[in-house]
A and B are shown apart, each in its own frame.
Chain A
C-alpha cells in the first residue's frame, strides 16, 4: 500500500512525520545532499529572520536603543572586538548581525510579496489568454511581448526609480516598500502568464474540460476549479526560483538607492550604506550582509533547481 493513502486517514500526530519520512519528496531529498544543504541554510536564514526581534542584540527600527560608544567595533573574533557584537557594529553603534537579521526580514518579505503579485497577475492573465483566446489572448500576449523586450531588472528599476523620484522625501520612505513590491511584481508577471497560458492550451484539449463545459459550467468556473489545479505544479516551481530573482532585484534596487530606505533596511540597503565604509577599512559592515545575501540566493536556487527536476522532469 502506498504511503500517501494511509496519511490521508491518519493525519495528525506522529503518523504525519512517518508519512513525510516515507513520502516521495523525502526519499528523493535523501539522495540529494546539495538540496538538503540548501534547505538547511534556507531554513536557518528564514528562522533567523522570523525570530529577529527575539535574538537581535540591537533593533535598527529603534534608534534610541543604539549607543554611539559601541560604534565602529570590529567583529568579535578580531582584536578590539566585543563579544556582545559577533559581527561588529556600524557607524551608529548598531550590531551588524542584528542588522542582517532585520535586513533578511525585509528582503524575504519583499521577495515573497513581489512573487505573489507576479503569480496572481500572471496566472489570471495566462488563464484568460489560454482559455478564452481571441481578443484577450491577443491583447495580453502583446503586452507581455512588449515587456519581454526589456530585461526585467531594468524594468523594475525604471518603475521603482521613476515613481520614487517623483515623490517627496516623506512619501518616498512611507511608500518605498509597496513601490518596490509592485515594481518587481509587474516586472515579472509575463513569465507566469506565458507559462500558465502554455499549460492551459494543453489542458483545455482534455476530456475533463469538455465534460465540464458539457454540463453547462461557465468559463470562470472551469478556469478556477478545473484548469487552475492542473497547472499549479509548474507555477509552484517557477515561483520558487522567482523568489530568488525578486530578492536579487530588490537588493539591486536598494543598492542603487531606489529600493528599501535606510529606515527599513533590506540586505541591499545595508550593502549600499556599508559600501561607503569599505574604503575606510570597515569591511564587516558590507561583506557580512553581502555574504548573507549570496547564501540566501544560492540556497533558494539550489533547492528550486532540485524541486524543478523533481516536479517537472520535462523542463530539464
Chain B
C-alpha cells in the first residue's frame, strides 16, 4: 500500500514538474519581455541593463526555480490582455466553471446510472437494446452541436431559456453563485445538458457493463438460489458492487467535464475559466495560457490521485497492481 501510494505521488509530481517546465519554457523562451517593455528603439545598453534588472541572464535552472517559487506564492503574473493579475482573473472565473461541471456531473450520474442498471437487468429486452443504440448516438454527439441544437430549439424556437451568460448571480463570500436565482438556474439548464449528454451515455454503458458482470458472479447466483426476490438481488446485492467502479470513474468524468466545459463555455458565452483560456489563446496572452496549463495539470493530477486512492480503498486486489490496470 505504501509502495503504491508513493508510486502514485511520484507520478503526480512528475506530471506537475513536466507541465511546469513546459509552461515556463513557453513564457520564457517565446515571449521577450525586454522587447515588449522597451520597444524597438532602445539601445543595446538599455536592453542589457533591463536584462540584468529582470535577472534574465541567470542560468535556466535559477530562473525556473524562481518561476516555481512565484507560482507557489500564488503569483501567476499579469495578464497582457486584461492588465490584471492572472490569479484574480482565475478566482473570478472559477465559480462559473465549477458550478457548470458539477451540475453536469450530477446530471450524468443521476440519469446515466439508472439507465445502465435498467439496461443490464433487462438486457434481453427491446427497450434495453434501444437504450444501448441510443447511447452510441449520445457518445457520437459533439458537445458544441448539442449546445447549438438546444439553443436553436429552446431559445430561438420556444423562447424558454436564455441562450448565453450565467443570468443573475449572488455573491456568497468570494464565491459567485447562479444557483440561488431563477435566471441563474434557467441559464444553467442548457449548458449543463450539453456538457452532460455524452457523459450520460458513457456512464450508462459503463453501469450496464459493470452490472452485467456482477449479475453473472457466483454470489448473485447463490442469492437467487436462496430464493431472494429479483428486486432484492438486483438492488441490494448487485447494485452496491456496481457503484464502486462508477463512483471512482466519475472522478475521471469530472476531468473530462472540465475539459469540455471549454467548448460549452464558448457556445453559451458562459463566463468561466474555459472562455478566459480561449480568449487568452486568441490574443497570445502567455501569462494566462501558462497559468491555465499549471492549474489544469494540478487539477487533473489531483483528480487522478483521488481516483487511484478510492480504487485502492474500494478494492483490496488493486492495492498491489498499480496504474497498469486502469485505462
A interface residues with partner B (beta carbon < 8 Å)? 34, 142, 145-146, 149-151, 153-154, 157-158, 161-162, 164-166, 194, 244, 248, 251-252, 255-258, 271, 275, 278-279, 281, 283, 286-287, 290, 293-294, 297-298, 300-302, 305
Contact = CB atoms under 8 A, between A and B. Distances in A.
Given A161-B281, A271-B145, A283-B152, 9 more contacts: A145-B11, A149-B297, A149-B300, A164-B281, A251-B144, A252-B144, A255-B263, A271-B144, A297-B141
A149 B289 CA distance: 18
Contacts of B30: 166
B142 A165 contact: no
Contacts of B151: 278
Given A150-B300, A255-B263, A278 B156 contact: yes
A278 B152 contact: yes
B15 A298 contact: no
B229 to A, nearest CB: 30
Contact of B266 (A146, A255, A298): A255
- Most-contacted residue by chain B among A154, A164, A305 (CB, 10 A): A154
Nearest to B280: A165
A290 B18 contact: no
Interface stretch (B40-48, B117-125, B220-228, B253-261): B253-261
Interface in B271-322: 278, 281-284, 289, 293, 296-297, 300-301, 304
Nearest to A255: B144
A172 to B, nearest CB: 11
The winner among B148, B289, B304 for most chain A CB atoms within 10 A is B148
B301 to A, nearest CB: 6
Interface stretch (B53-61, B62-70, B84-92, B131-139): B131-139
A153 B259 contact: yes
A64 to B, nearest CB: 30
A278 B164 CA distance: 13
B206 interface: no
B327 A305 contact: no
B300 A298 contact: no
Interface string B196-233: 00000000000000000000000000000000000000
A258 B281 contact: yes
A238 to B, nearest CB: 12
A257 B137 CA distance: 25
Contact of A271 (B137, B148, B300): B148
B281 A154 contact: no
B278 A275 contact: no
Contact of B145 (A145, A149, A258, A294): A294
A109 B232 CA distance: 53
B65 to A, nearest CB: 21
Nearest to B157: A283
A84 B278 CA distance: 39
Contacts of B180: none
Contacts of A279: 156, 163
A194 B327 CA distance: 9
B250 interface: no
Contact of A252 (B143, B149, B152): B143
Contact of A293 (B26, B142, B266, B281): B142
B206 to A, nearest CB: 13
